[in-house]
C-alpha cells in the first residue's frame, strides 16, 4: 500500500524542500518506489531534482486544474532516482483559478489515484503557507511530516499547524495523522535549540523522530548541482542523517504494520 506524506510547515526556510528531496532520494536508495510532488510555485524541489523549471511545458498546475493527466506530467527517474511531478511559477495562479472549481480541496487527491498504485511512497513538498495548495496536500495525504528548526518562535507556529491538521481531519480527510516532527538544521551547541528540542519531546513524545538533521553545508550546496546530497557527498553528515531518517521511517512502518 502506498503511503502519502505531506511535508508541511507554514514557515518558510525550515527545511521542507531539503527534506522532501533528500528523503525521496534516501527512500529510493532503499529500493522503494517514490514519487515527489512539488507543490510550491518556487519550484525548488523541481530544480533540486535536476529538472529545469523554466523549460517545462506541463507541471502540477495542469494536474490540479485537470487539463493534463498526472502520468503525462510526471518526470520519470530524476537525478535522485525517484519520479517527480514538477512545479514552477505557473502554480501561483492556481489558487485563484481553483477557487470556483468543484471539490477544490481534493483535486490533488483525485489526480493521484491514477498513479498511486505504482509507488511505495508519495512525498508532497508543500509551500510555506496554509493556503489552498497546502490544503490539497493535506487532503491527499495519509500523514504529515513537519520539519522544524528548534528556535523560539517554532512552537508558536506549530500550534496553528496542528489546529489546521485537526480541522482537515474533522472536515475533509478523516485518516490524516501527524507522522512525525523532524528537527532540522540542528546545532547541538546551541542551548536554546536544546531547550526547544526538549519541549518538543515533552509535548509530542514519540512523534518526534529520533533522527536529527544537523546543519550541514553539503545539504545546502547540493541543489545548485541539481542533485540530492546523496549523489553530491555520500559520507556527509547531512546525507547520512537523511538516510537514517528513511531507515527510521521504514522501521516504524514495519512495527506498526498489522499482524497477518
Ligand atoms: P523550506 O522548503 O522549508 O523553505 P528549504 O529546504 O528550502 O526550506 O531550506 C531553506 C534553506 O536552508 C535552503 O537554502 C537550504 O539549502 C538550507 N538548508 C536546509 N536544511 C539545511 C541543513 N540541514 N543544513 C544546512 N542548510 C540547510
Ligand atoms: Mg520549500
Ligand 2 centroid from CA 257, angstroms: 31
Angle at 25 between CA 8 and CA 6, to 5 degrees: 20
Angle at 79 between CA 74 and CA 83, to 5 degrees: 25
From the CB of 220, is ligand 1 less than 6 Å away? Answer: yes
Q: What is the pLDDT of residues 129-162, one digit of tens each?
A: 999 999 999 999 999 999 999 998 888 889 999 9
Q: For residues 19 and 80, give the distance between their C-alpha atoms in angstroms, rounded to a whole number.
A: 13
- Please give the CATH architecture assigned to the domain spanning 3-254: 3-Layer(aba) Sandwich (3.40)
Does residue 154 contact residue 148 with C-beta atoms inside 8 Å?
A: yes
What is residue 257's predicted lDDT score, i.e. its pLDDT?
53
For atom 17 of ligand 1, which residue has the closest CA? 220
Ligand 2 centroid from CA 258, angstroms: 34
Q: What is the pLDDT of residues 9-52, one digit of tens each?
A: 999 999 999 999 999 999 999 999 999 999 999 999 999 999 99
What is residue 85's predicted lDDT score, i.e. its pLDDT?
98
Phi-psi region of 71 (alpha: psi -120 to 50; beta: other; left: phi over 0): alpha
Ligand with the closest atom to the CA of 18 = 1
Q: For residues 126 and 38, give the distance between their C-alpha atoms in angstroms, rounded to a whole number.
A: 7
From the CB of 149, is ligand 1 less than 6 Å away? Answer: no
ipTM for this model: 0.99
Ligand 1 centroid from CA 22, angstroms: 11
3-state secondary structure (DSSP) of residue 139: helix
Mean pLDDT value of segment 159-173: 95
From the CB of 86, is ligand 1 less than 6 Å away? Answer: no
For atom 19 of ligand 1, which residue has the closest CA? 15
Q: For residues 86 and 96, give the distance between their C-alpha atoms in angstroms, rounded to a whole number.
A: 20
**Across the chain, what does the average pLDDT equal?**
95
Those residues whose C-beta lies under 8 Å from the C-beta of residue 99, and which sit 6 or more positions away, are 132
Q: For residues 229 and 94, give the distance between their C-alpha atoms in angstroms, rounded to a whole number.
A: 31
From the CB of 238, is ligand 1 less than 6 Å away? Answer: yes
What is residue 254's predicted lDDT score, i.e. its pLDDT?
77
Q: For residues 4 and 141, give the distance between their C-alpha atoms in angstroms, rounded to a whole number.
A: 5
3-state secondary structure (DSSP) of residue 151: coil
From the CB of 22, is ligand 1 less than 6 Å away? Answer: no
Q: Cell for 65?
A: 486544474
Ligand 2 centroid from CA 43, angstroms: 8
**Taking the domains of the chain in order of start, what are their residue ranges?**
3-254
From the CB of 245, is ligand 1 less than 6 Å away? Answer: no
For atom 9 of ligand 1, which residue has the closest CA? 15
Mutation choice for ligand 1 from 7, 12, 13, 228, CB with most ligand atoms inside 8 A? 13
Phi, psi of 83 (to 5 degrees): -90, 160
pTM: 0.96
Amino acid at each position: 500500500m502506498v503511503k502519502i506524506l505531506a511535508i508541511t510547515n507554514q514557515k518558510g526556510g525550515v527545511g521542507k524542500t531539503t527534506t522532501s528531496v533528500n528523503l525521496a532520494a534516501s527512500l529510493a536508495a532503499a529500493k522503494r518506489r517514490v514519487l515527489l510532488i512539488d507543490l510550491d510555485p518556487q519550484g525548488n524541489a523541481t530544480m533540486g531534482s535536476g529538472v529545469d523549471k523554466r523549460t517545462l511545458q506541463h507541471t502540477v498546475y495542469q494536474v490540479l486544474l485537470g487539463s493534463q493527466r498526472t502520468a503525462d506530467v510526471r518526470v520519470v527517474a530524476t537525478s535522485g532516482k525517484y519520479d517527480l511531478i514538477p512545479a514552477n511559477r505557473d502554480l501561483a495562479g492556481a489558487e485563484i483559478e481553483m477557487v470556483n472549481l468543484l471539490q477544490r480541496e481534493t483535486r490533488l487527491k483525485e489526480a493521484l489515484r491514477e498513479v498511486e498504485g505504482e509507488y511505495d511512497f508519495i512525498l508532497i513538498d508543500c509551500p510555506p503557507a496554509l493556503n489552498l495548495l497546502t490544503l490539497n496536500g493535506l487532503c491527499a495525504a495519509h500523514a504529515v511530516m513537519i520539519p522544524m528548526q528548534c528556535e523560539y518562535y517554532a512552537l508558536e507556529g506549530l500550534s496553528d499547524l496542528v489546529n489546521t491538521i485537526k480541522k482537515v481531519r474533522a472536515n475533509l480527510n478523516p485518516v490524516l495523522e501527524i507522522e512525525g516532527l523532524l528537527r532540522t538544521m540542528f546545532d547541538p551547541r546551541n542551548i536554546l535549540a536544546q531547550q526547544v528540542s526538549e519541549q518538543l519531546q515533552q509535548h509530542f513524545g514519540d512523534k518526534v523522530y529520533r533522527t536529527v538533521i544537523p546543519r550541514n553545508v553539503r545539504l545546502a550546496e547540493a541543489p545548485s548541482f541539481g542533485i540530492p546530497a546523496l549523489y553530491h557527498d555520500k559520507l556527509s553528515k547531512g546525507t547520512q542523517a537523511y538516510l537514517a531518517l528513511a531507515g527510521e521511517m521504514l522501521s516504524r512502518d514495519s512495527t506498526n504494520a498489522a499482524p497477518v
